[in-house]
Amino acid sequence: MPAEIQAAGRLPRPENRRLQLLDAAAKLFCQHGFHATSMRDIARAVDMLSGSIYYHFSSKQEILLAVYTEGARRIGELVDAAVEPETDPWARLEAASAAHLNALSVTHRDYAQVMIRTLPQEADGIGAQLRDIRRDYEAKFRRLIDSLPLPSDVDRHYLRLMLIGALNWSHVWYKPGGDRPEVVAKAFIQTLRRRTENGAQTP
């Protein structure tokens, strides 16, 4: 087989294997959690011996870090792509929310959920790195919310926490057959949006 054909659109085998491991780990971490997943579980999922994993990753933590990083990359990419064509600040935030929900619940379920649900303090040596990844990703939402044309009395801080909480909690209730992510995002954003446009306050 000519090398050209092999190279056409396919990663070389070794990288493939690393990816298989990452996929399996993401799936298992998502399903059972980091601590409840063993190296043997991951190895079994890709038909490998547990010791062989260490050729590709130097520790269990490193796998988590890789899944985390990849999760942030994927969800971030989706959000960026969704935001880019929009110009209206609210439309941008809604698009970002839909993309976030979509990644978390559908497109990149395993990777994204691991990143959202695994608390940095759970992983012994890499807590700080996980926190950084989270912070960098959440900065996207911070910027989108900073761009909203809001009356000065609106607390952008709690608006952000509310939206992110609402979005991230979706992993608890979201079911594949339910409303599409865009529908959910629209509902969430509408709720937040009223406040701005009418400016009224409750005592």
Work out whether 159 is an interface residue with a second copy (CB under 8 A): yes
Interaction pattern, residues 67-106, with a second copy; x per rule: CB under 8 A: -----------------------x----------------
CA angle 127, 21, 13 (to 5 degrees): 130
Query: Residue count at the site for a second copy (CB under 8 A)?
Result: 40
Please pick, from the candidates 11, 106, 119, 139, the single residue that binds a second copy as defined by CB under 8 A.
Answer: 119
Please provide the distance, in angstroms rounded to a whole number, between the alpha carbons at the two ends of the chain. Answer: 75
Work out whether 130 is an interface residue with a second copy (CB under 8 A): no
CB of 165 to a second copy, least distance (A): 3
Work out whether 37 is an interface residue with DNA (CB under 7 A): yes
Q: Give the integer Cα–Cα distance in Å for 111 and 30.
A: 8
Work out whether 56 is an interface residue with DNA (CB under 7 A): yes
Work out whether 53 is an interface residue with a second copy (CB under 8 A): no
Please pick, from the candidates 7, 11, 31, 51, the single residue that binds DNA as defined by CB under 7 A.
Answer: 51
Between 127-146 and 109-117, two packed helices, what is the crossing angle to 10 degrees?
Answer: 100
Binding site residues, a second copy, CB under 8 A: 31-33, 35-36, 90, 117, 119, 121-122, 155, 158-159, 161-170, 172-173, 184, 186-188, 190-195, 197-198, 200-202
Binding site residues, DNA, CB under 7 A: 12-14, 17, 37-41, 47-56, 58-61
